[in-house]
Amino acid sequence: MGKSRTDFIDKTKEILLKRRDALRKALAGDLSMLKELEQTAGDVVDFALDSAQDELSSQLAEVESRELAQIDKALERIRGGSFGECEGCGCKIPVARLQALPYATLCIKCQRELEELGEDGVSWLQNSDEVSI
């Protein structure tokens, strides 16, 4: 188990770094787009369209910012050597779960307990579903 888990974490780190770069670029693009929209907001004719785009961009930026924070946290955990450990019970989260959900910081059991407490089940898959663009 030891080596393949280390390999898996190395690969995950690479994927996370690439995804972080991509997200940062997208976010930078979104923000400059938002600034442009603000400057043209005085145009009444285009206002409805602008505000619709504006809303979409800020929603997207919010999701991207949230994912960036999750990526940073995961990379921090990789550096600190605690990646893949459950924050709830300290067990090793199965590789299969980490493959589906690289930002998971809880094992399935602890995640379920948290969800029963009424917390938002924040997962990569759910985030992707929110943004249907």
| In the complex, minimum distance from the CB of residue 86 to Zn ion, in angstroms, rounded to a whole number | 3
Residue 107 within binding range of Zn ion, rule CB under 5 A: yes
Helices and strands (H, E) in the chain, number of each type: 5, 0
Residue 97 within binding range of Zn ion, rule CB under 5 A: no
Are 111 and 104 contacting, i.e. CB atoms less than 8 angstroms apart?
Answer: yes
Residue selected from 16, 71, 78, 86 as contacting Zn ion according to rule CB under 5 A: 86
Residue 85 within binding range of Zn ion, rule CB under 5 A: no
Residue 104 within binding range of Zn ion, rule CB under 5 A: no
- Strand pairing partners for 63? none
Query: 84 exposed, middle or buried (CB, 10 Å; 0-12, 13-18, 19+)?
Result: buried
Binding site for Zn ion (CB under 5 A): 86, 88-89, 107, 110
